[in-house]
Amino acid sequence: MQWIDRAKLHYACQLPSETTKQGCGLAYMLATGASNRGIDLSRYRTLNLAVRYTGTAQYLRVAIRNFDPRFSRIEDVNSPKFNYVNLPTKDLSHSIPISLREFTVAEWWMAQYDLPREYAHPDVSNATVSSTSTCRAT
């Protein structure tokens, strides 16, 4: 990853052409002070996304990590709930609204922490990190 213009969050990634499972992304910290104190996004319905993308990735993943003290741990940066939506890059030619209802909790995250079904629903009431990353189909 190389910054083109950090102030405008403009960056470029150069990935090896033979790699299929590698992506490139940017994480934006929403936590204020301590990494377990995020912001409540649950009152919002829509995320308006404006991205200019060029490249060969098929999807742009938008993720929101949510810290929940019932299972999240400060010492484990992967433990905040991984809510995400994959957007086809062909849809990024203009600003698009994304309903927060489109987000889902990653199955790999649920399996890794062996959590009961009751935690399988998206939650953004204590959002600590927002990220975007490109994905190629495998």
- What residue numbers bound the domain in which 26 lies? 22-135
Per-residue pLDDT tens over the stretch 37-52: 999 999 999 999 888 8
Q: 1 lies in a domain?
A: no
Q: 117 lies in a domain?
A: yes
Q: 52 lies in a domain?
A: yes
Least confident segment among 1-10, 29-38, 61-70:
1-10
Give me the number of domains the chain comprises.
Answer: 1
Q: 95 lies in a domain?
A: yes
Cα dist from 8 to 3, 49, 51, 55, 85, whole Å: 10, 14, 11, 19, 23
Instruction: Give this prediction's pTM.
Output: 0.85
Alpha-carbon distance 131 to 55, whole Å?
A: 18
Q: 75 lies in a domain?
A: yes
User: Contact at 8 Å (CB) between 15 and 22?
Assistant: yes
Q: State percent of the chain over pLDDT 70.
A: 89
Q: 35 lies in a domain?
A: yes
Handedness of CA 21, 2, 63, 97 (dihedral sign): negative
